[in-house]
Structure 1
């Protein structure tokens, strides 16, 4: 009964948006207001913001474009799962009144409609993280990152879908069902930020804020053909992200929050809003990220890591990397394909140990005791042994693993003394088949006809996760069947603007991404 009622609320909200979009005021919006494009909602966020500030369109008119598009396109995608049309209209109207009265925008995101991953708490707006246990959870305060969005003038339209407690590489849950890939409904949108990535790709939102521990932001971006930035660890406050449970003040030391967008430039726009100290530190600390290391692509020193025996990539992905290397060289950039900052297999194993360890924080006492007992009976190199031993490691063992992580960070720093960025595959393949109906232990992927472990999808993404490095995933081509293909750009710690800048340079030379069919609904 709870599930049926939850789905009814979501569907009713979308239907209400469609009904409101048929009003005369909304018809004016669809006509483009005072000369604005009727499809402005599909434009880059910076273009929308410019139109808002020029007052060629109002925030309310732009919002109505979004609500109409969501009503048409979202039922097939299932990306936006909680819609707050009334709250968004009130915020848009307030933004319009403020601009009319003062002539000044509220902030960098003045009047811009956007969505937020359903793992981030939103004051007065249901936040479930896809869990039946949180069906009725309505937070009393915003996550720190959401508060920054609102302070910058953003209009929060609704929440986007996630797997239960963000614990899958595909996006489905008992409350809202499965989010579809906007290019092919038989393929996954990825996870755990599958709803955000699909929504951005299909034009249901200008931007979204997702989260990334084990590639949860970058994997969906790769599969849905959009841009994502995993910022340097620690520069975006994470309080208010689920998991951990509501009310917890701490998060995993490997979790970051970051932007999803349809252009690299828009990543930088949202990064400027999100990057800040936690409120408790704001009295003394500031986040002032350095400018990109170089101004011209020709001046960059680029490392390229095309493939590795530990996690081979398929022919389509290799061809995309080949083309990126060709473009870099033709632009005059220095390209090095020989040096490797770390060993992929060893780095990934350490990543997994630290990830499983941090996930144990919220285990029940009884559940953790069962894991401890099970770990005593299973060798660390047996199936499931790495998970159990890492999850139940003693604090001394964690300190040793953390020391190994710091040594790894030192090797990366040495590499970036002679290289500005490293380009790698984002994933072994394009979006894999949706397997949400299959138990996780039975899932797998296929790479050039070879059956491979399900979690190989994130092996390349895991390079950056535990060592706090910024990493951009960007669309770089597509398969013969039209699925997006992506590459990853990893940079030095706190050089977030450098990886964004390289993505911008490459985007100018790569074919423009093809919009998914859902964006035309």
Structure 2
């Protein structure tokens, strides 16, 4: 019976029915890693002995008619930003190379409580703070579609492992495109959940035992099919431990019933972040598919926001989050730089300095701007069910590990653009806490995958997933990279 690229939840059903064994599925993925991971360096730590022990127990439980849950006996990997009890969790941070948590991150525990077996960890950038995946501890992770290209970040190892068939399901986090960009670069599905509906507890940074959950950041699944995204999200949903006695998360159903009633806005390009022609072509083809299915497609509808102003607001709020892990000396340096700068200077470097140096009162002012932006998006989604837009403006690009990100550039239609433009389309929707599902949209002429963000109103996760399901069925399902389909 087939294992490769099967739904993780289908694998669990077959394990419980005795059609597959958990031990056999585990050995299958370990063999795939032995065969393919050398070129990719996506899986960076294994827990084979404990995984085999738990797989044996899962098979014995199935034989007794016991049901551990919807992921009964399914072996899977976890992004190395999430704490895993007894299994090294580095987060790309050299000082954490020997860090072995005592407990699982909340989201990891929800997978395990559903019967999953964590057998390995997938690579991330230093502190999950880049859109390429490399660090001093584990090195560089490569893209299975072209190893000379990045697999993205920060969930880069997770997306590459899925695309290469090294794992059936993953767990990502996203504060700057870290689920969406790797999904786009590797041709897999990913879901950035609405802010606050899945607990971030146990994510590194900030790390094990920290109670405060960062602004902007969210947890979500990556998979090779929409079914797995939806079922995994159902497992992950819920309040953190402190809030659980008082409230629960119940997401509303999709905002449309029939495709003929689906209202789609398309924001495929914009001067605030010009989009590569090949990415633009693929996004427009997705819009064409939905229009062919009977959806009402509007190429002009936009929320009442200034995308450039939104970007400035987002980056300052983002860097205020990042500043929490920075030494006092860095924050002091940023404050001095801002004090000496032209008040009109919002270049990438100075924008970051402004965020790092934000006082609490200044943060409140930026938060008010963000709340007004959220209100504008809410009004927009009164007339629109979903927005299609780029995940990022380029396909996977060649590795560039120049230490100063501000010196890196990316070519867009023959013009060198700042590397930090990678945050622009991601932040456009993230800043308002909106859900977004990434769906494969097509391939560039040189064979690199392109994804599209399907975005909806806050807590409209089931709407974005419903549209993703339409596109999976009628536009493009997951396709394995060349050389990985067997």
Normalising by the residue count of structure 1, what TM-score does the alignment of the two structures yield?
0.90
Give the match for residue 125 of structure 1: 87
Give the match for residue 49 of structure 1: 12
Give the match for residue 80 of structure 1: 43
Query: Aligned partners of 1:134, 1:305: CA distance in 2, in Å?
Result: 41
Give the match for residue 471 of structure 2: 506
Give the match for residue 422 of structure 2: 457
Give the match for residue 265 of structure 1: 227
CA deviation map 1:211-262 (0-9, x unaligned): 1000011101100000111000001100110111443222321110110001
1:394 paired to 2:373: no
Pairwise CA distance, 1:438: 5.7
Equivalence map 1:388-467=2 (5 Å): 388-436=353-401, 439-467=404-432
Equivalence map 1:24-39=2 (5 Å): 36-37=1-2
Aligned CA-pair RMSD: 1.5
CA deviation map 1:300-321 (0-9, x unaligned): 1111112111111121122112
Query: Aligned partners of 2:471, 2:234: CA distance in 1, in Å?
Result: 21
Query: Aligned partners of 2:153, 2:326: CA distance in 1, in Å?
Result: 22
Normalising by the residue count of structure 2, what TM-score does the alignment of the two structures yield?
0.96
Structure 1 unaligned regions, length at least 5: 1-35
The DSSP-based 3-state class of the residue aligned with 2:288 is: helix
Give the match for residue 314 of structure 2: 351
| Structure 1 contact 144–238 (Cα < 8 Å) conserved | yes
Which deviates further from its counterpart, 171-180 or 320-329?
Answer: 320-329
Query: Aligned partners of 1:441, 1:308: CA distance in 2, in Å?
Result: 22
CA deviation map 1:55-109 (0-9, x unaligned): 10011111111111111111110000001111111121122222222x2321121
CA deviation map 1:260-282 (0-9, x unaligned): 00112211011011111101211
The DSSP-based 3-state class of the residue aligned with 1:310 is: coil
Structure 2 unaligned regions, length at least 5: none
Equivalent of 1:196 in 158, 162, 182? 158
| Structure 1 contact 252–359 (Cα < 8 Å) conserved | no
| Structure 2 contact 188–223 (Cα < 8 Å) conserved | yes
Query: Aligned partners of 1:366, 1:313: CA distance in 2, in Å?
Result: 37
Equivalence map 1:222-237=2 (5 Å): 222-237=184-199
Pairwise CA distance, 1:518: 5.3
| Structure 1 contact 379–385 (Cα < 8 Å) conserved | no
Change (3 A) 1:440 1:490: same
Equivalence map 1:251-290=2 (5 Å): 251-290=213-252
Query: Aligned partners of 1:169, 1:300: CA distance in 2, in Å?
Result: 33
| Structure 1 contact 73–518 (Cα < 8 Å) conserved | no
Query: Aligned partners of 1:151, 1:386: CA distance in 2, in Å?
Result: 42
Give the match for residue 278 of structure 2: 316
The DSSP-based 3-state class of the residue aligned with 2:340 is: coil
Query: Aligned partners of 2:115, 2:239: CA distance in 1, in Å?
Result: 19
Query: Aligned partners of 1:292, 1:46: CA distance in 2, in Å?
Result: 22
